[in-house]
Every structure is written in C-alpha cells, then in structure tokens.
C-alpha cells in the first residue's frame, strides 16, 4: 500500500498550528461534543478564531460538527466532536511503503 502524499500533506497542514492542537487535546480530554463558545472559552481565544481553526480541522477530517436546533429559543448551535485518527510518518515508512503516483 502506498502513501497518498496529497492526503498526508492535508492532514499535517490541519495539525500545523498550536491552537488546533489545543482544540484536539481539549476534545480528546473531554470525550464529548462541545459547543463553539465553550471551546473558545476553554482555549482562551475568540469565537471567531476558534471557528477558523475548527473549520480547518473539519476540512482535514479531524473533527466533525453537528447542528442542534433549540426550538424554544429559535436558534441553532453547532457542536464539534473529535474523530478518531492515527498519523504515523517517518523516512523509513515513506521508503518502505512508497508514495502513490497519479
């Protein structure tokens, strides 16, 4: 099986910021879905900044979001949860498995 370097680069880019790593750590430690405002508050950043990083994590496949509608309050809340993942890369692994070519 070869390594898809485009997909690997996308994953590594998704992790390539301390705030995103803190978000992953928080979601893993809590073990539950969390609302955007709660994540931002616990990390100590603005909601806007948290949203930017959560979207990047979602595009890279590390988190998923679900919208819950609060009918009595007429609003929707987006909750984020961590998806299971395992990334392992080394020069030896690249050589042993090779890279996929288009």
- On the question of pLDDT at 102 being above 80, the answer is no
Rounded to an integer, what distance in angstroms lies between the CA atom of residue 69 and that of residue 77?
Answer: 6
pTM above 0.85, yes or no: yes
- Partners of 81 in the beta sheet? 64
pLDDT tens string 69-90: 887 877 888 999 999 999 989 9
Of 97, 45, 33, 86, nearest in space to 62 by CA: 86
DSSP β-ladder status, 63-70 and 75-82 = antiparallel
Q: Which of 37, 75, 82, 30 is nearest to 60 (CA)?
A: 82
């Amino acid at each position: 099986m070869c390594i898809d370097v485009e997909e690997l680069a996308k994953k590594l880019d998704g992790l390539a910021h301390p705030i995103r790593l803190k978000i992953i750590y928080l979601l893993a430690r809590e073990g539950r879905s969390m609302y955007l405002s709660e994540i931002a508050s616990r990390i100590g950043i603005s909601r806007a900044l948290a949203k930017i990083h959560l979207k990047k994590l979602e595009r890279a496949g590390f988190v998923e979001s679900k919208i819950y509608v609060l009918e009595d309050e007429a609003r929707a809340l987006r909750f984020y949860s961590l998806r299971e993942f395992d990334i392992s890369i080394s020069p030896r692994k690249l050589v042993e498995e090779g890279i996929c070519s288009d």
